[in-house]
C-alpha cells in the first residue's frame, strides 16, 4: 500500500556553490549539413569535412585523402557551388536546408512551449554550422541534463544516422558531467510517417492539371557494398516505398522506387533515378511525378537534382509534364509527425 510522503522544500545551495541552470530536457534535431555560401572556398570546406568522414567514404585516409584534397576538391566545389547557387536564398544568404531545419525546430519549440515548458528544442548539422558539439554544449549550459538526439533520417544508414550519433558521442566523451542521451529510432515504417507522406503527396498531386502516368519514389543512393556489409538502408527504403504505395492505393505498374545522387566509379544501389527517367521518356511516358521521402527537408538533392536536373532530362527526352512533390518540411503535417516522434521518444522524461 502506497503511503503519502511529504514533499520537502529544496535546500538552499551554499553561497559559494557554482550557479546551476534550471533542470531542463533537450531535443536536438540533426540534419546532414550545408556550406556557408556558394563560393569555391565555402563549398570546398563543406565537402572536405563531408567526404573525409569514413562513414561516408569507406577508404583508408592514406589512399583517399590525396585523391580528395587533390583531384576531387580542385574541381567539385565549383560545380557544386553553381548547383547551390540555383536554389540559394540570396535574401537571407542561406541554403533551403538550413532555413527549413531552423523552422522545424522553431515550430516544435512553439508547440511545446505551453505543454512542456521545461523542454528546449535546438537544431544542428552534422557537417558545417551550427555544429552538433556546439549545440549540445549550448543545451547543456541551459540546464539540459537529458537530451534526445533526433537524426532527421527516416531510413537508417551508417553514413547518415550513425555518423550523426558518432559526432554527438565524441562530444560526450569530452564532458566531465555528461548528460543522459537518447537517440530517436528510424521511422521508415511508422504509420504516422507513411500517412503524413501520403497526405502531403495527395495534396500536391491535386494541384496538378494532369495525372501522372508514373510515380517515382527516389531515395538518396548508397554504394552497393554498404548493403553487402549489412547496412539496412536499402531494405528500409524498399519498405517505405511499399507501405506508401499501399497507403496511396497506387497501381504497382505505375510506381517505382529509385536511387539518386551517385558519384564515383563504384556500383550504387539500383535502379538509378537518372537512368530510369531517361528510359521512361524514351518509352513514351509523357507525365511523370517524383517524390523523395528520405529527406525530412528539401535540399540540393531534391530542389536542384530532381526538380531542375531530372525535369530538364525528362522534357528533353520527350516528356511533356513533370512534377516534383515537396518533402514534409515544416508543413503542419511535417510538424505533427516530428511532435509525435519527440513525445514518443521522451516517454518517462517529460
91 labelled ligand-binding: no
236 labelled ligand-binding: no
Q: Give the residue from 132, 135, 125, 126 showing the smallest Cα distance to 100.
A: 125
Q: Are 318 and 281 in contact (CB under 8 A)?
A: yes
HSE-CB of 259 using CA atoms within 13 angstroms: 18
- Secondary structure, 3-state, the chain: CCCCCCCCCCCCCCCCCCCCCCCEEEEEEEEEEECCCCCHHHHHHHHHHHHCCCCCCCCCHHHHHHHHHHHHHHHHHHHHHHHHHCCCECCCCECHHHHHHHHHHHHHHHHHHHHCCCEEEEEEEEEECCEHHHHHHHHHHCCEEEEEEEECCCCCCHHHHHHHHHHHHHHHHCCCCCCEEEECCCCCCCHHHHHHHHHHHHHHHCCCCCCCCEEEEEEECCEHHHHHCCCCHHHHHHHHHHHHHHHHCCCHHHEEEEEECCCCCCCECCCEHHHHHHHHHHHCCCEEEEECCCCCCCCHHHHHHHHHHHHHHHHHCCCCEEEEECCCCCCHHHHHHHHHHHHHHCCCCC
Q: Please give the Cα distance from 140 to 177 (Å, whole number).
A: 9
Binding site as annotated, residues: 220, 301
Binding residues for Fe(2+): 220, 301
Amino acid at each position: 500500500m502506497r503511503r503519502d510522503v511529504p514533499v520537502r522544500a529544496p535546500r538552499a545551495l551554499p553561497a559559494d556553490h557554482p550557479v546551476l541552470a534550471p533542470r531542463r530536457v533537450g531535443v536536438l534535431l540533426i540534419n546532414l549539413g550545408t556550406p556557408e555560401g556558394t563560393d569555391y572556398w565555402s563549398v570546398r570546406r563543406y565537402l572536405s569535412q563531408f567526404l573525409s568522414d569514413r562513414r561516408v567514404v569507406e577508404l583508408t585516409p592514406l589512399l583517399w585523402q590525396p585523391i580528395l584534397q587533390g583531384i576531387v576538391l580542385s574541381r567539385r566545389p565549383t560545380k557544386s557551388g553553381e548547383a547551390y547557387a540555383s536554389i540559394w536564398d540570396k535574401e537571407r544568404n542561406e541554403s533551403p536546408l538550413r532555413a527549413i531545419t531552423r523552422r522545424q525546430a522553431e515550430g516544435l519549440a512553439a508547440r511545446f512551449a505551453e505543454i512542456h515548458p521545461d523542454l528546449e528544442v535546438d537544431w544542428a548539422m552534422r557537417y558545417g554550422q551550427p555544429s552538433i558539439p556546439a549545440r549540445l554544449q549550448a543545451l547543456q549550459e541551459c540546464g539540459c541534463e537529458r537530451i534526445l538526439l533526433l537524426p532527421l533520417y527516416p531510413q537508417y544508414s551508417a553514413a547518415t544516422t550513425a555518423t550523426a550519433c558518432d559526432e554527438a558521442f565524441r562530444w560526450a566523451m569530452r564532458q566531465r558531467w555528461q548528460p543522459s542521451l537518447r537517440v530517436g529510432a528510424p521511422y521508415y515504417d511508422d504509420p504516422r510517417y507513411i500517412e503524413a507522406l501520403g497526405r502531403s503527396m495527395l495534396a500536391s498531386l491535386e494541384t496538378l492539371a494532369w495525372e501522372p502516368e508514373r510515380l517515382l519514389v527516389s531515395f538518396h543512393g548508397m554504394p552497393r557494398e554498404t548493403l553487402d556489409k549489412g547496412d539496412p538502408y536499402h531494405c528500409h527504403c524498399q519498405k517505405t516505398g511499399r507501405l506508401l504505395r499501399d497507403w496511396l492505393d497506387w497501381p504497382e505498374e505505375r510506381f517505382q522506387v529509385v536511387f539518386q545522387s551517385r558519384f564515383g566509379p563504384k556500383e550504387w544501389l539500383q535502379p538509378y533515378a537518372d537512368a530510369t527517367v531517361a528510359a521512361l521518356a524514351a518509352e513514351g511516358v509523357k507525365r511523370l511525378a517524383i517524390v523523395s521521402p528520405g529527406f525530412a527537408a528539401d535540399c540540393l538533392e531534391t530542389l536542384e537534382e530532381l526538380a531542375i536536373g531530372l525535369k530538364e532530362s525528362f522534357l528533353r527526352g520527350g516528356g511533356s509534364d513533370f512534377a516534383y512533390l515537396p518533402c514534409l518540411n515544416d508543413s503542419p503535417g511535417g510538424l505533427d509527425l516530428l511532435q509525435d516522434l519527440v513525445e514518443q521518444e521522451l516517454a518517462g522524461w517529460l
